[in-house]
Structure formats: C-alpha cells, structure tokens
Amino acid sequence: MTLPLQDKKIVLGVTGGIAAYKACGVLRRFQKAGCEVRVVMTASAQKFVAPLTFETLSGHEVVTDMFPPRRTVKTRHVRWAEWADAILICPATANIIGKAAAGIADDFLSTLILASRRPLIFAPAMDYEMIENPIYRENRKKLESFGHHFIDSETGHLASGAVGPGRLADESVIYSAVESILHPSGALSGVRVLITAGPTREPIDPVRYLSNNSSGKMGFALAEAAASRGASVTLVTGPVSLETMPPVDRIDVSTAAEMNDAVLARFPDHDVLIMAAAVADFTPLHPSGSKLKKQGEAVGLKLRRTGDILKNVAAVNDGKIVVGFALETDDVLENGKRKLKEKRLTFICVNDATEPGAGFETDTNHVTLLFPDGETDDLGMLSKSATAEKILDRIEIIRGGA
Ligand SMILES: Cc1cc2nc3c(=O)[nH]c(=O)nc-3n(C[C@H](O)[C@H](O)[C@H](O)COP(=O)(O)O)c2cc1C
C-alpha cells in the first residue's frame, strides 16, 4: 500500500517551548508515514532537547546555526527551502510566530520561513496567557491571511500547572492536518462513512424520557476527522447540543428504534460504519399518550429490550468495516471481547466509564481497541479528536490491506 505522504520531504522546525520533547514523537509519526524529515532547532529549543536526539532519530545533521564554523554551502537556508514539501514548526513558540509575522530573519529557522514558498504549518504551544494575548492573536491572523496554516492547540493541563488552551495538539492530529494540507482530497477520499453519535431518548410519556449522559462528542469528533480526510460522511445523531460542519450529512433521530431504522436504511450505501452512539438497551413497554399524573408513593415502569443495531447490521453485512464502541464499568476488556465476537465487528473501542477523563461528557477519552485476532491497542488518555484520528488511522490501514 502507498501511504498518502510517502516520500514527502518535511522540514521540522523545533522552537523553545516545553513541548519540544513531543516533536520527537511527531518526527517518528511522519517517518512511519514514509516521509523524510530534517530538523532545524532554534537556540532556545536546544535548552529543552539536545540536537543529538533529533540527529539520531532523523538520521541527518540537525541545523542549529545560521553561520556554522565550517560552512560548505553558503545559502543553505535557500536550498532547504527548495528541498522541503512543507515546513512544520512544532512546537511553535509565540516568539517564532511573532518573528514570522513581522518578517524577522535573525536565525536559521526564521530565515528559512521567510525564504520558503512551500506550505508553512505552525503547531503552537504556549501558556494560556500567551495564546489569549491579543498580540499573539493578531500575529496568527496576519500569517493566516498570507495562507499559512495553524494546527489548533488543545485545552488541558499546561506545564505551568494551569488548565486552559495552549497544549500542543496530539501528534496524530498534527499528522492528519499536514496530510490534509498536502493532499486536500484526503486519504479517505471517495469512502462513504456512516457514524452514529449521542444518546437516544425513550419516551415514558409526552414530556418524560429515559436517556443517558452521552454528549455525542466522540461521534462528532469522528465525523469531523473522517470528513477532513476526504470521506463522505453521514452522521446519525441522537439529541445533542453540538453543531455539525457542512460537509457532514446529518440525520437527527430520537429513539433507539429511529436510530436502528436510520442506520439499516443507509448501511447498504456506505463502506464503513462506526457506531459511537450510546443507544438505550431498554425502552418503556407502554409509553403513555398523556402526561402521567402524580399518584401513590411509588410507581412501576415496565421496560422491554430495544433492537440491537449492531446485531441487525451483522445479519446483512457482506464484509464492510464495522466498528463498535463499548462503555463498561466492570470487566471492561472481557465484555468488550464478548461484544466484538457476538456482533462480528472489525474491531471494538472499549472504555471504562468509571475512569476520570474517559467516557461521557468529557473532552478526553481513554480507549482500547480490541481486534478479532486477539490484538489489543491501548490508545491512552487523549482528546476525543486525537482518539478519532487514531481510530481512522486503523480504518485506513485495514482498507489499504483489503
Ligand atoms: C521552562 C520554559 C518553558 C517555556 N515554554 C514556552 C512555551 O511553551 N511556548 C512559548 O511560546 N514560549 C515558551 N517559553 C519561552 C521561550 O523559550 C522564549 O520566548 C524563547 O525566546 C523562544 O525562542 P525561539 O522561538 O527562538 O525558540 C518557555 C521558556 C521557559 C524558560
């Protein structure tokens, strides 16, 4: 299989932020995708990570100096600017962004930025006070107005101990942003992906219902990530308070039965199904047509099982990729393995509802992927966008090997 960024040449510019060590993982991610990566470090970056680390990882000399003692090529910044398919500044300090916006070229990296006509991509990371500073925001706006790209930082715990925006985007988010800049059509171009999201509502009477705490964030993150890779995305969502971007075709449903019908009707026209919705397992047996009146101290509510959407899909699946989610509170892996087998899934994403930061309503998730051959892949605690990118990476690999 040819990877989308196979043989691309990336200059990785590392600047002096605490996230400089994360650039090592980013470099590896691009190498795994078949890219050749060469590294430039600012003087401040070298206070955080030694050039030797990047030299060893990249297999090339790291440029640290505009005027090295034994110069062989006089205009190295021009040669590098021509060599690169893209220049990725990661992490990008407020300082390099300010210098780039002002056209300052006082070291090798800032000179290279000014000399380059190739896509210039900044992955900023800094404390929230800096990222919210109007001077920084103006500088970013100015660079964007010249067509340069920014990969938004995440909100989370920062090195200063504060919680806020400014944490470097996850490496898989950075990779996929660069991929979509260099290949606007995307690695999932032409692939039709059906995704479910959110909770369902099972009516008790016209004003009351049974539901759960699903926010829909995981399914929406998957829809956005798949669309940015060029997929044509249909999102079937239960009631949530989230917006969808235009390329996503959104279908709003309420009950488990409506979600079942919407999925089964569209499954034949799609290549991939990802069931990230938290569908109710039970629904009131006899929902009342009028509002139930207060009566007695206790009332009983008879429930019946809802239809199992993934089992219904399995019955008609002729070899398409079907990914399930299982949110568990006990025996997480064992229950996940059982569902994987019972529902004949391509793989299942399991998470533990009792773990802080994982599951419903949070911006982060801790998912483990389980595969039919027994492989398990613990993705660790990530933002939901980063989790979505990792899940789509797997889908791309499975499709590529098909
Ligand atoms: C411990 C420490 C952490 C820092 N982290 C950041 C950071 O995350 N983002 C940032 O913009 N600046 C950060 N700075 C400030 C930069 O290092 C400083 O602005 C420097 O001049 C940047 O130089 P450069 O852009 O040439 O690499 C940090 C400084 C220190 C001492």
- Last residue within a domain, chosen from 182, 208, 242: 182
Which is it for strands 272-275 and 321-328: parallel, antiparallel or unpaired? parallel
- Last residue within a domain, chosen from 141, 157, 182: 182
**Which residue, judged by its Cα, is nearest atom 9 of ligand 1?**
126
Q: From CA 50, how far away is CA 131, in angstroms rounded? A: 26
**Residues 318 and 352 grouped into a single domain:** yes
Is residue 94 in contact with ligand 1, taking CB distance under 6 Å? yes
Is residue 17 in contact with ligand 1, taking CB distance under 6 Å? yes
pLDDT at 1: 44
**Residue 182 and residue 86 in contact, taking contact as beta carbons nearer than 8 Å:** yes
> Which residues participate in catalysis according to the annotation?
212
Q: From CA 60, how far away is CA 163, in angstroms rounded? A: 37
Please give the distance, rounded to the nearest whole angstrom, from the Cα atom of residue 87 to the centre of ligand 1.
Answer: 20
3-state DSSP call for residue 136?
helix
**Residue 240 and residue 197 in contact, taking contact as beta carbons nearer than 8 Å:** yes
**Which residue, judged by its Cα, is nearest atom 5 of ligand 1?**
17
pLDDT at 77: 77
Show the tokens assigned to 193: 């992906």
**Residues 157 and 232 grouped into a single domain:** no
Task: Give pLDDT tens digits for 22-49.
Answer: 999 999 999 988 999 999 999 999 999 9
Please give the distance, rounded to the nearest whole angstrom, from the Cα atom of residue 191 to the centre of ligand 1.
Answer: 42
pLDDT at 70: 66
pLDDT at 189: 85
Show the tokens assigned to 147: 């067509």
Q: From CA 228, how far away is CA 216, in angstroms rounded? A: 18
243: left (phi over 0), alpha (psi -120 to 50) or beta: beta
User: What stretches of 49-115 show up as alpha helix (H) in DSSP?
Assistant: 51-58, 76-83, 94-102, 108-115
pLDDT at 268: 95
- Last residue within a domain, chosen from 156, 182, 208: 182
Place of tokens 């995305």: 233
For the chain, which ranges sit under pLDDT 70? Answer: 1-3, 70-74, 184, 245-246, 358-361, 401-402
Nearest to 9 by CA among 182, 173, 149, 147: 182
Is residue 280 in contact with ligand 1, taking CB distance under 6 Å? no
Domain span holding position 231: 192-285+301-401
pLDDT at 359: 64
pLDDT at 401: 60
Q: For the domain that residue 156 is a member of, what is the CATH number?
A: 3.40.50.1950
Is residue 221 in contact with ligand 1, taking CB distance under 6 Å? no
Task: Evaluate whether residue 197 is within a structural domain.
Answer: yes
Rounded to two decimals, the pTM is 0.64
